[in-house]
Chains A and B, each alone.
Chain A
Amino acid sequence: MLLDVKDMSLSLKREGKYIRILDQISFHVNEGETIGIVGESGCGKSMTALSLMRLLPDKARLEGKVVLQGDEITSFSKRKLEKVRGNQMSMIFQNPLTSLNPLQTVGIQIEESIILHTKMGKQQRRKRVLQLLNEVGLPRSEELIDDYPHQLSGGMRQRIMIAMAMACEPQLLICDEPTTALDVTVQAQILELMNEIKKETQMGIIMITHDMGVIAEVCDRVIVMYAGKIVEEAPVIELFLNPKHPYTLGLLDSIPKMGIRKQKLGSIPGTVPSPEKMPTGCRFVDRCSHAMDQCRNTLPEMIEINENHYTACWLYDEEVNKSGSIGSQKPETAFHY
């Protein structure tokens, strides 16, 4: 196992109080596996990534365990963690323009990762940067190395970010919405590149996105997050064929499908509750058309319903099913607006 996250919780200080943003997140990533994390904005996807990297605001409280290749990095000092970041574990971000330093050439920015984590000499480093630029599909690397970010297009900038993240051959790559800010044709190029990198390395990838299409294209296993908790986890095909949690169903139903026109799309009424006003029971209860009394009072645990398919929903609880209180009202689709 490459990465094992156990009961990770994150609280941020807001107006003098600690507010829990992430609640007992547990998942793992194997070598060579791509895990997708999907959910609406504000459900904690990005915060999960930043917590793994511990790139958190000053007043943040992180609990639980994160084990990367046998090391419990949650207990690492700042100094020790800096040796891990960009080396064993790197990250790329949503907006490649603002994520690059405008005053440094891209060559220098890629080289910095190499300087920080290896003992390579100057010549060697330059060679490595040129090699990385070629690997991420950027031609004329000799000229490009001295360019500044503003001279490049959005797609090229994101390739630079990928080269930077790949510089020290990390075991884990975290991608936070890497194609959201890009045009469709450029997004296709970047996804293609990610798939190539996947094939060539044994790297584990965490792909954070709100786009089920991107999930379907690159992920092996998917985690669905809602309001700071994981509500469903399944291999990608299983998730699309046999989604269980009403939230996952809602998300899938809302996507316009090719070939089907002008029909009512499914949707999820309401909005994600704010962390200050989290319901005590299931956090989805106010938006769920299958909500029962139980859902309001008690938080459902993750249960395995199929092989490697887990969900946290009372509808699938054995006790509840035995009592026959829901009968055949298993969620299918629901239309709202």
Chain B
Amino acid sequence: MDVLKFVAKRLLLMIPILIGISMLTFAISNTIPGDPARLILGPKATPEGLESLREKMGLNDPLYIQYGRYMVGITHGDLGESTYSQGPVSSDLIRYSPATFELTLFAMMITLLIGIPFGIISASKKDRMADHFTRLFSLLGVAMPAFWLGLLFLLLFYLKLGILPGSGRLDSGMSPPHHITGMYTIDALLTGNWTVLLSASMHLILPGITLAAVTIGMITRMTRSSMLEVLQSDYVRTAHAKGASENRVLYGHALRNGVMPVITLLGMAFGHALGGSVLVESVFSWPGLGKYAVNAITYLDFPAVMGVTLLIAVMFILVNLIVDTLYFFIDPRLKHN
């Protein structure tokens, strides 16, 4: 009951946040110097042509009217026309987002599978070899810029060793699996298309790891410090006093308590990965939202930029809502309060 109330309240809170974000992006994109009409018509455009296009696009209206028009459109699911793709932004988003979600989800999966165990090992073997190694590793992950790491991976695994593909989502000439979710690996799995599954998975590896490097570092470090704190706690001492073995204490008592604060960070990490995809997708020519956004920016395609920003914001808020709701099920202190 409390959970439902909590979720409802948070969903309502989303509205002012999204309005704020839309205003901010709207204002920023309109203060950037540059004229979309000139970009569309090219350098040889006549002043009359430019003027009539501006009039047609509504660029001559005051900013608040433009914004109001945009917001009215949103309520009808209309995000405007992309000047770059020359189609509705909403259908562009639907087309490009599955690739990004696939990449981000894959990165989050690696983050969880590597980050948390690394953090636990690091904490339980504090100041020993394993700890030093994982700490160095996670520090590198956090410190290295994603685009640079991506280029490094490309150079090594694609150009030099040639064992992993370096761009796109599938081998060239291969046709995508039947469209169900739009995420190739999942669709291939659902339709039993093993060759496509293999190819799609191979293509995910390099951009996925590049994207995950930072979040793995974040999660490892957080897990380590949280576990260290828990291992010093009184109830862990109590567990030892009961005669529980090292492993039983670690996995029976410390783990659940130690992972708790990490969950919050997971939501943040997800947002980080979504944002990071803009760069990583460009490096690996991954046809997702990030690449779409980069193109949109270079073409001063404001409706497209706005659309991507809002979609990422909604995703970020929803993921964090899910994460916060999880606590109701993990922490009895919230359940009974």
Q: Which residues of A contact B (CB under 8 A)?
A: 53, 55, 78-79, 82-87, 90-91, 93, 95, 98-105, 112-113, 116-117, 148, 150-151, 161, 164-165
Contact = CB atoms under 8 A, between A and B. Distances in A.
B317 to A, nearest CB: 27
Q: Which 5 A-B pairs have the closest CB atoms?
A: A86-B243, A86-B242, A85-B243, A98-B234, A99-B234
Given A85-B242, A99-B234, A101-B235, A150 B257 contact: no
Contacts of B66: none
A101 B242 contact: no
Interface in B240-264: 240-246, 252-253, 256-257
Contacts of A55: 237, 240-241
Given A93-B234, A148-B336, A101 B239 contact: yes
Contacts of B61: none
Contacts of A79: 245
A174 to B, nearest CB: 9
Nearest to A49: B241
A86 B188 CA distance: 54
B247 to A, nearest CB: 11
Contacts of B237: 55, 93, 99
Contacts of B240: 53, 55, 85
- Count class of interface residues, chain B: 20 to 34
Contacts of A105: 332
A95 B238 CA distance: 11
Given A148-B336, A151-B336, A99 B242 contact: no
A238 to B, nearest CB: 32
Contact of A90 (B233, B241, B333, B336): B241
B243 A101 contact: no
B331 interface: yes
B235 A98 contact: yes
Given A148-B332, A148-B333, A151-B336, A100 B243 contact: no
Interface string B258-275: 000000000000000000
A100 B238 contact: yes
B148 to A, nearest CB: 39
Given A79-B245, A87-B243, A116-B242, 7 more contacts: A55-B240, A85-B242, A90-B241, A93-B238, A98-B233, A101-B238, A164-B242
23 contacts: A55-B237, A78-B246, A86-B243, A86-B244, A93-B238, A98-B233, A99-B234, A100-B235, A101-B238, A101-B239, A101-B253, A102-B332, A103-B332, A112-B244, A116-B242, A116-B243, A116-B244, A117-B243, A148-B333, A148-B336, A150-B332, A150-B333, A151-B336
